[in-house]
A and B are shown apart, each in its own frame.
Chain A
Amino acid sequence: MTQFTIYINGGSKKVKVDEDTPLLWVIRDELELTGTKFGCGKGLCGACTIHVNGIETRSCQTPIDFLDEDDEITTIEGLSKDSSHPVQKAWIQHDVPQCGYCQPGQIMTASGFLSRNNNPTDEDIDNAMRMNICRCGTYPRLKKAIKSAAKEIQDG
């Protein structure tokens, strides 16, 4: 096992794990930030999505030793204080979640891509969101929520 220092949600944390441990399990089990979910372990479902330097990243496919020293991680817990990120607000307003299990991943994907493109076309949204599975089928409301979040981000 190796000791690592990682920057996450605005602070630095020390962990001792095998160097091939995926970030998903470091975040969930070592740091006990359990909002990030395990769905497939193979980069297929997006439930484990986090931001690394603002870019949406599958934490189940990212071993901890892939990180550079100054990489900064954000998880659902660090996205905002009190669910105030436009994406989270839109999710509540549009009654998006059902079982809720996929939603932290959906939110991290949506917030990541909207930060680069706040005026997305339907095709842009499709391309970004097709990486995240929702087995409850919340897609129709996800789509509405993304559009209204984009609007709020534009209006600043």
Chain B
Amino acid sequence: MDKDHLISRRSFIKTASLIGSGFAIGFNFVQAKRELNSEFSPDMYINVLSDDTVVLSVSKAEMGQGVWTSLPMLIAEEMEVDWGKVKVQQISKDNFIGTGGSMSISGYGWEKMREAGAVAKQVLVESAALKWKVSPMECIAKNSVVYHQKTRRSTSFGSLVDKASKVKIPNSVRLKKPSEFNLLGKDMLRTDSKIKVDGTALFSMDKNLPGMLYAMVERPKYFGAKYKNSNLEQIKNQNGIIDVFLIPSGVAIVGEKYWSVVKARKLLKVNWEKKLNPVFADSKIYRSHLDKLSNGKSSKVRKDGSPSKIFKKAKDIIKAQYYLPFQTHAAMEPCNCVVNVSDRACEIWTGTQNPDNAITRASKVTGIPEKNIKLNLTFLGGGFGRKSFNDWIEDGVRISKHLKKPIKLINSREDDTKYGFARPSSKHNMSAVVNSKSIKAWKHIVVSPDPLTGNAANQYGASIPILKWATSIGIVKNKIRNYLVTDGAAHIPYDFENVSVKASPFETDIPLGFWRAVFHSQNAFANECFIDELAHKSEIDPIQLRLSHLKNNVRSTKVIQKVADESNWGLVLPKEHFQGFAYHNSFGSHVAQVVEVSIVDNRVRVHKVFCSVDCGQTVNPLTIRAQIQGSIIFGMGATLNSEMTVKNGRVNESNFDDYPVVRFDESPQIKVFILKNNEKPGGVGEPGLPPIAPAIANAVFAASGKRIRKLPILSKDLS
């Protein structure tokens, strides 16, 4: 018999259910501050109702990554519930969990969800034992029924809800071994599909309140510009306009209908006072600064062996420089929120990846204590990192506060493109020494601003006082920045003996943020394109060269071999089709990809992507496949279609015409192979992205003999 798994009894609570007749087990998804205090307020509940349904209240934001399905699966596995009787409901609590960094399951969900399920099961088993006056040790639960085999009695979960009030939360529970899993690792259809195909799923854009007004914000034309004057008095007289006034981020225009606001906004003329000497707020100037820094001094982040010695002695050093552009997120649903501020309370409806911070900021703006601010978390129409910043929520709160009326703030697509927080554009100087078909020394210098300690710190760091404090100390700030920009560069999986990874971060006035896979998207491009160059220069098969440096890494070796086999790597391909390979390890998961491309009229066409994934113990393979496919398509856009550029202190792009994303007919056939094991679960929302750009670039080299060292790949790069 396995050892029992001890739980902290104080981290679970049993109460009457708030949503029907029955009981509920409440707990916190993460160990919230409250759990440590005496005042304990759960943010998740398992409701067991007398009609046998089990309603799981999920507090984590669903932005497409499937948490409405995967988190309940974890609970249901341990609780032994009939999956058909499980319902999911989004709840709003004042302590939320942020969504980002592929953390839903890998970080905190795994253990806590399973513990909660096991606790609920134990309560039900003990309730049955109490009812039958037998020992709970003799009872088992399966498929929403408790059995006492000796006396052949059985009773459904729902029939036990009254007895459950007499049972205490257990001190310990037994968690299943992976070999006992019935649900985890199986394909389960999403629980939120029906409401997403009939139009009833609630996004914040869909929330309406009686008497609600519509608002937009005209933001500064240039980064950091200040308001000088405008014709806002005249705009106030436009049809349907209620008020036009200044808020810190720009000019707020409020009207009875959205269309009146759109029309009035077109007539608004604002004079902005440009910031004096904006810092690198122009793609050209920024680019030459990247070049300058890449040749200058940089700080050490990792050093193994004696790389400088090897480089000094080497006859032949192979070098390459890679350049990546800015990218914006372009989530399908532009940022928006519904806010109702009254004298003493504030209620918000929005889809945010960072709900705690939204409450803190709303409280700061309104002076209303946090406990009187209610945030209703809706579905997110995509996030990809953009919806961590909450800038639009602060705007909405200010506008509603000014008018003391409910408002809906809607960013236009153009607002969303121009006033986002971009992935930093970066440069990577690579050098290596290859000797007898082996990489002897490897050097990577990353030149990039970071999104956390620079300008964005005021946006995002506002929620993390410790970060704000830490980044005010020069040396700590530098450590954080160096660590951030080399994420995915410093922790390369290859066993090179002599490694040097350096960073050269800097400040810019261009607002930067976290983009899907964060710095892994840039660093994997440099790593995996460069190792491909090294392989070709040394006449070694690119996959073989990698494998020869992964001898002690079983997981990466397996994942690479799998995709090589499935894609028929190196074997005959259709005419004019060529393959490229890349591998990367991020967020606890290993991903290897082979892409098959052809080039027609100087345009790259991706036909197939073979992708193998090792993300440890799998929860829902259907979700994993969807996330991996989605990451590949998202990453393809940044490789072949789009780039964000800055001119004269403002973003050039505005909508899907000048920031083109991947469309249906460009989407390749994608085959995902999930390797099964019982390692700790890794993330799946981001790790699929980093390999796609280098795999495509390497395939383009195979097809054309042209090395791609700058993204996106444009026709003129191929002609």
Contacts and interface: CB of A to CB of B under 8 A. Distances in A.
A103 B626 CA distance: 15
Contact of A103 (B63, B196, B662): B196
A130 B664 contact: yes
A104 B199 contact: yes
Contacts of B631: 137
A127 B664 CA distance: 9
Contact of A77 (B195, B196, B198, B380): B198
B64 A100 contact: yes
Given A21-B257, A92-B189, A99 B197 contact: no
A21 B259 CA distance: 6
Nearest to B627: A98
A68 to B, nearest CB: 21
A18 B193 contact: no
A37 interface: yes
Interface in B597-625: 622
Given A83-B194, A95-B190, A97-B192, A135 B655 contact: no
Contact of A88 (B198, B331, B383): B198
Nearest to A63: B259
B187 to A, nearest CB: 8
Given A44-B655, A44-B657, A127-B665, A99 B333 contact: yes
Contacts of B382: 99, 101, 135-136
B410 interface: yes
Nearest to B331: A135
B64 A83 contact: no
Contacts of B662: 137, 139
Interface in A90-147: 91-93, 95-104, 107, 125-127, 129-130, 132-143
Contacts of A139: 629, 633, 662, 664, 667
Interface in A35-61: 35-42, 44-45, 47
B663 A36 contact: no
A137 B632 CA distance: 8
Interface string A142-156: 110000000000000
B143 to A, nearest CB: 23
Interface of A: 17-18, 20-22, 25, 28-29, 32-42, 44-45, 47, 75-77, 82-83, 88, 91-93, 95-104, 107, 125-127, 129-130, 132-143
A45 B656 contact: yes
B192 A38 contact: no
B237 to A, nearest CB: 16
What is the interface of chain A mostly: helix, strand, loop, or mixed?
loop
A96 B665 contact: no
B258 interface: yes
Contacts of B622: 95
Interface residues of B, number: 62
Given A100-B64, A136-B630, 12 more contacts: A18-B257, A29-B214, A44-B656, A88-B197, A99-B382, A101-B382, A104-B197, A132-B664, A133-B656, A135-B634, A137-B667, A139-B633
B669 interface: yes
| Interchain residue pairs A-B with the least CB separation, the first 7 | A35-B199, A101-B381, A137-B633, A99-B64, A100-B196, A98-B64, A34-B206
A143 B668 CA distance: 11
User: Which of B64, B196, B622, B656: most chain A Cβ within 10 A?
Assistant: B196
A83 B239 CA distance: 40
Contacts of B240: 18
23 contacts: A18-B239, A18-B240, A18-B259, A21-B257, A35-B200, A44-B656, A95-B190, A97-B193, A97-B197, A98-B64, A98-B65, A99-B381, A100-B196, A101-B332, A102-B332, A103-B196, A125-B664, A130-B665, A134-B664, A135-B384, A135-B634, A137-B633, A138-B630
A97 B193 CA distance: 6
Contacts of A33: 199
Interface string B179-210: 00000000001101111111111010110100
A137 B198 contact: no
B664 A103 contact: no
A97 B66 CA distance: 10
B379 interface: yes
Q: Which of A20, A95, A137, A139 has the most CB of B within 10 A?
A: A137
Given A40-B656, A126-B664, A95 B208 contact: no
B413 A40 contact: yes
Contacts of A45: 332, 413, 656
A129 B665 contact: yes
Given A45-B332, A136-B382, A25 B258 contact: yes
Contact of A17 (B65, B257, B661): B257
A140 B662 CA distance: 12
B348 interface: no
Given A25-B258, A40-B655, A101-B333, A92 B193 contact: yes
Nearest to B626: A98
B334 interface: yes
A36 B199 contact: yes
A38 B410 contact: yes
A132 to B, nearest CB: 7
A83 B198 CA distance: 6
B330 interface: yes
A129 B203 CA distance: 23
B156 interface: no
B412 interface: yes
